[in-house]
Amino acid sequence: MLAITLLVLCAVGTQALDNGLARTPPMGWLIWERFRCNTNCKLDPNNCVSEKLVKEMADRMVEDGYKDVGYEYVNLDDCWSDKERDAQGRLQADPDRFPSGIKSLADYIHSRGLKMGIYGDYGTKTCAGYPGSLGHLQTDAQTFADWGIDMLKLDGCNSNVTTMKKGYPEMTKYLNATGRPILFSCSWPDYERAAKIPINYTLVADNCNIWRNYDDINDSWGSITGIIDYYDKTQDTLVPAAGPGHFNDPDMIVVGDQGINVNQANAQMAMWSIFAAPLLMSNDLRNIQPVYRDILQNKEVIRINQDPAGKMGKRVLTFGSNVEVWHRPLHQYQEWAVVILNKDTKPQTVSFMLSQLGFTAWGYEIREVLTHTELGHYGIYLPVNFTAPPMGATMLYAYTSS
């Protein structure tokens, strides 16, 4: 009986995602928010969804220092494919915008020391009306593996949301069967949330490396704070779901786009790092301003984001309706990251004791990591004052000197 039980458990266990990936949140670039479904390469050849654009972004990631600080995935989204499958029922790239094909593009990205991500959809069609994977999950998983794909985002448009608890794990099984490690990004929880279907995050984490669970981001402060508000309200559910190999994904980093300023850009990077969230930029790396490149390449913030413990942070204090204090435990004993988030249009100074954050050592050294400033030694039972900029954040790294 024991042997039979072990065999059954092993058989069940093989259905879970088994790729060894995303031990820390993935970092890279994703085409969607900045370039959307721009397919008109005749009128807009420099900004349409094409192999030319993707190669140029890969080049910028390598040559402008992004790869050196950890960004590695270069990801397509919707609108890359032809409107029809090939004669063998396989997905194929649009021949005009991707004349060399996806395998050739993946080979180029790999030659630059990077990894390639692609987009699919669980339904009959993608959100933009291109061929979906319903009825073709196994074929598509193998096709992506044959092309050398390293990451798959599987959206959920034009599908029966009630079947996702079965369908997404089915794709997990097919990805496992290819033998190629492909990071699996699922949109399944977001569709269940919208349909008011209870989300089983244990099942999600068993089958997905990262998962979307709220609205698409756009390059505005309101969109960023709306996502933060959702993560605040649901933190008791989201925090235990996250860990090495499986992370919540609040969507793309929009730092460097036109809709947010420097304070807001710093705040997004800080909060996404408190969330232990993927850092998937969606911007134009060819003409980004140096101040935003520096924010994206802030090694101190990235170190917190990539902390190997993989623990998601949470909100612990509020001051009125516009100031929140979040913290995240890091892997070293008595090591913390803290963000003071200010949604107000004016600078805000708040006072609190470190003991209110759950700190238990007698004192901590504190460094502000957005400005790279040592603030000094603080005891945990004396009130301390911190000021956060308007519509921005202060991010602290707290550690013991012993």
**Catalytic residue annotation:** 155, 216
What distance in Å separates the CA atoms of residue 25 and residue 146, rounded to the nearest whole number? 25
What distance in Å separates the CA atoms of residue 275 and residue 231, rounded to the nearest whole number? 9
User: Are the C-beta atoms of 58 and 109 separated by less than 8 Å?
Assistant: yes
User: Are the C-beta atoms of 79 and 128 separated by less than 8 Å?
Assistant: yes
Question: Exposed, middle or buried: residue 287 (CB in 10 Å: 0-12, 13-18, 19+)?
Answer: exposed
Would you list the DSSP string of 275-329? TT--EEE-S-TTS--HHHHHHHT-HHHHHHHT-TT----EEEEEETTTEEEEEEE
Would you list the DSSP string of 213-232? -SPPP-SSHHHHHHHHHHHH
Instruction: Report CA Rg, the chain.
Output: 22
Count the helices and strands in the chain (H runs, E runs): 13, 16
What distance in Å separates the CA atoms of residue 29 and residue 50, rounded to the nearest whole number? 15
What distance in Å separates the CA atoms of residue 51 and residue 38, rounded to the nearest whole number? 13
What distance in Å separates the CA atoms of residue 24 and residue 79, rounded to the nearest whole number? 29
**What values do phi and psi take at 189, rounded to 5?**
-65, -35
Buried b (16+ CB within 10 A) or exposed e, 141-175: bbbbbebbbbbbbbbbbebebeebbebbbbbbbbb
Quick one: DSSP state of residue 26? -
